[in-house]
A and B are shown apart, each in its own frame.
Chain A
Amino acid sequence: NAGVTQTPKFQVLKTGQSMTLQCAQDMNHEYMSWYRQDPGMGLRLIHYSVGAGITDQGEVPNGYNVSRSTTEDFPLRLLSAAPSQTSVYFCASSYSLGLAEETQYFGPGTRLLVL
């Protein structure tokens, strides 16, 4: 199993550009989520999905869109990038519907710089 994979590893954008961060998992996990990691703030939940076709907002959803057309993939879209979205983005997945005690498996991250 490759686990949770993310592409690209690093990206530089100009303000106003759009892009999609890719996330895929090969563990047949129902639950997937996106976090951003900022210095001194830990990780914060952006969006999550409990299965194909079902998504919901997390703590910091503004400026981001998601969709879940398959169990394996959960892309994160930035419609119009802003410098405030400079961060490291992590995708995660877990076996079930994300019960409180479940372990989440994280991808290696995408480092995004918005100029």
Chain B
Amino acid sequence: GNSVTQMEGPVTLSEEAFLTINCTYTATGYPSLFWYVQYPGEGLQLLLKATKADDKGSNKGFEATYRKETTSFHLEKGSVQVSDSAVYFCALSPFAGIQGAQKLVFGQGTRLTINP
């Protein structure tokens, strides 16, 4: 079946540190991959996505590359800020054809805290 495994949290870093949050997946076919972010007290919002192998998604200084050979989609940022403190979710959407319905499969989430 389809599944997503994320790096265990919580993760605590100092401001301006380099961030990596690991994400690996299991899926049949060619899924789309996503990173969603949840700020305290809010719903999830899309951070970035990639829809095919070797695509790189990027937004707000975050990047992730769709690696089919290692079934990974690791999230990276070169210099984190206090405002990046949130919970980050890796997710996949299995390919379901033109008339398919998106059934996101989420990882367990990684809580990130950035200290000034």
**Contact residues of A with B, CB < 8 Å?**
4, 31, 33, 35, 40-45, 48, 50, 56, 58-59, 90, 92, 94, 97-109
Contact = CB atoms under 8 A, between A and B. Distances in A.
Interface of B: 4, 6, 31-32, 34, 36, 41-46, 49, 51, 89, 91, 93-96, 98-104, 106-109
Contacts of A90: 43-44
B68 to A, nearest CB: 15
13 contacts: A4-B43, A35-B104, A41-B108, A42-B6, A42-B91, A43-B104, A45-B103, A97-B99, A100-B31, A100-B51, A100-B102, A106-B44, A108-B43
Contacts of B99: 97
A101 B31 CA distance: 8
A59 B103 CA distance: 9
